[in-house]
Structure 1
Amino acid sequence: MSAIRLDNLDISYGDTKVVHGVSLDIAEGESFALVGESGSGKSTILRAIAGLAPEWTGQIEVLGAPRSHGVDRTVARQVQMVFQDPYGSLHPRKTIDATLSEPLTIHGIGDRDARVEQMLTQVGLDRRFRFRFPHQLSGGQRQRVAIARALMLEPKVLLLDEPTSALDVSVQAEILNLLKRLRAEQGLTYLVVTHNLPVVSFLCDRLAVMRHGRIVEVADVAQLKHGALVEPYSQELLAATEGRVTA
């Protein structure tokens, strides 16, 4: 079964259409990337799937079920999003405990203490971080909290919007390794937005190259690693990161 299926998806902000006729089929357990320059519509697609971009037409299916416009509690149990900025996405006046407990409270899930401590362990944070505030954590630790929050409802799909671009290079590798491990352990499906082709090479199985709101090429990551992308624009992106895309 498909984890995410998009059929002829158009997305607009007011009178401006920013995504044009996008169709994709992402299998359960797959890690799939949307790549392209800023403004190509990558993050807008994530927002539509998450229910944060209400003006769209076409069809969005999550785990075989069509999703409606706007926020949907049922979809929220299955699909969660990790944002680019690990500080801006966390409430500065809420402890890590409150941040991780909030999804459980909203959805009426009990055993919160045990679930919070278990999730902190899963993302590599000691229990002493539980009652700290975001400003008391490093950028990498904050992103681990953001990932933990996304996983509190035990979703099957994670939408990752540039999950490492705001982090120091040394910390990026730690977060990528964490994401790779969590996917293997929990059978997660990833839809990753990034402009960083080495991230795609490390984390993903397939990729779609976007330009001006349209998909210009879909390829296996093996094609990326071997420099075998076909479209001229895809080759331009590859040339810009030449030497950094490895197996």
Structure 2
Amino acid sequence: MSAISLKNLDISYGPTKVVQGVDIEVAEGESFALVGESGSGKSTVLKAIAGLAPEWTGEISVLGQPRGHMVDHGFARRCQMVFQDPYASLHPRKTVDAVLSEPLQVQGIGNRGRRVVEMLAAVGLDTRFRFRFPHQLSGGQRQRVAIARALMLEPRVMLLDEPTSALDVSVQAEILNLLKRLRREQGLTYLLVTHNLPVVSFMCDRMAVMNKGRIVEIAPATALHDGSFQDPYTQSLYAASGGNPDRKDI
């Protein structure tokens, strides 16, 4: 069974169609990247899966369950999303404890305090941070809280929208290493959006390249080591990255 299945997916914002004919199968436990330039439609695909871009046609399934257009609380327990900007995604007037407890409250899950402490530890934050507000945290700490919030309901699928691009370079590697460890320890499936090919090389098994709302190529991440891409647009992206991304810092 695929963890994520997208078939003939079209997504619109009003009269404008921004994604067309997307077909993707992501296996359970896989880390799969959507790459492309800004405006290529890759983040819009994540939003449609998460229920944040409701004007779509085609088929979306997560862990064998079709995704409808309505709010689905059961879906939230299977799939969660981590956003690009950890400050904008956290309520500025809620403590870390309140942010992490909220998904459990919505779902009617008990033992909230214990679960909050456990999840803070899982993302590398101790109990000192539990009752702080977002403005009292660094960018990396805020993103750790955002990751913890996404994991509170124990989902098996995570949607990651440029999870390190808003962070200082010195912090990016820490968050990527954290995500890689969590995937291994919790058996997670990742669908990662990024424009950064070194991140794909470090994090992912396969990648789909998007251009103007369409997928132009699906390739193994190992192609980033030898440049064995077929589509001219993908080849141009690879060349613009300087070739083998392992030669660069993440």
TM over 0.5: yes
Q: Which amino acid aligns with 1:135?
A: H
Tell me the SS of whatever aligns to 2:12: strand
**Distance of 1:186 and 1:39 partners within structure 2:** 32
One-letter code aligned to 1:116: V
Contact 1:99 1:149 in 2 (8 A): yes
Show CA shifts across 1:78-116 (max 9, x none). 000000001000000000000000000000000011100
Indicate the residue corresponding to 1:176 in structure 2: 176
State whether residues 52 and 70 of structure 1, in contact with CA within 8 Å, keep that contact through their aligned partners in structure 2: no
SS at match of 2:227: coil
1:164 aligns with 164
CA distance in 2, matches of 1:43, 1:6: 14
Q: Which residue pairs with 1:91 in the alignment?
A: 91
Shift of 1:227: 1.5
Aligned-partner Cα distance in 2 for 1:207–1:198 = 12
Give the corresponding residue for 2:107: 107
Residue equivalent to 1:76? 76
C-alpha separation in 2, matches of 1:25 and 1:243: 27
TM-superposed deviation, 1:241: 1.2
Q: What's 2:2 paired with?
A: 2
- Partner residue, 1:44: 44
How far off is 1:69 after superposition? Answer: 0.6
- Identity among equivalent positions (%) equals 75
Contact residue 161 and residue 192 of structure 2 kept, 8 A: yes
Residue-by-residue CA offset, 1:54-94 (whole Å, 9 max, x unaligned)? 10000001101111013211111100000000100000000
* Residue number in structure 2 paired with 1:188: 188
Which residue identity lines up with residue 198 of structure 2 in the other structure? P
What is the SS of the residue equivalent to 1:119? helix
| Secondary structure of the corresponding residue to residue 222 of structure 2 | helix
Q: 1:91 to 1:236 in 2, by over 3 A?
A: same
Is the 2:5–2:61 contact (alpha carbons within 8 Å) kept by the matching residues of 1? yes
Task: Quote the Cα distance in structure 1 between the aligned partners of 2:70 and 2:170.
Answer: 37
Aligned residue number for residue 206 of structure 1: 206
Q: Which residue of 2 aligns with 1:117?
A: 117
Amino acid at match of 2:43: S
Give the match's secondary structure for 2:245. Answer: coil
Paired residue total? 247
| Structure 1, gaps ≥5 residues long | none
Structure 2 counterpart SS, 1:246: helix
Q: CA deviation at 1:46?
A: 0.2
Q: Secondary structure at the match of 1:58?
A: strand
| One-letter code aligned to 2:120 | L
The one-letter code matched in structure 1 to 2:105 is T
- CA-atom RMSD, angstroms? 0.9
Map residues 139-154 of structure 1 onto 2, 5 A cutoff.
Answer: 139-154=139-154
User: What is the match of residue 232 of structure 2?
Assistant: 232
The match for 1:131 is 131
CA distance in 2, matches of 1:240, 1:70: 41
Residues 205-237 of structure 1 show CA distances to partners (whole Å, capped at 9, x for unaligned) of: 000000000000000011122221221111111
Q: Give the structure 2 partner of residue 57 of structure 1.
A: 57
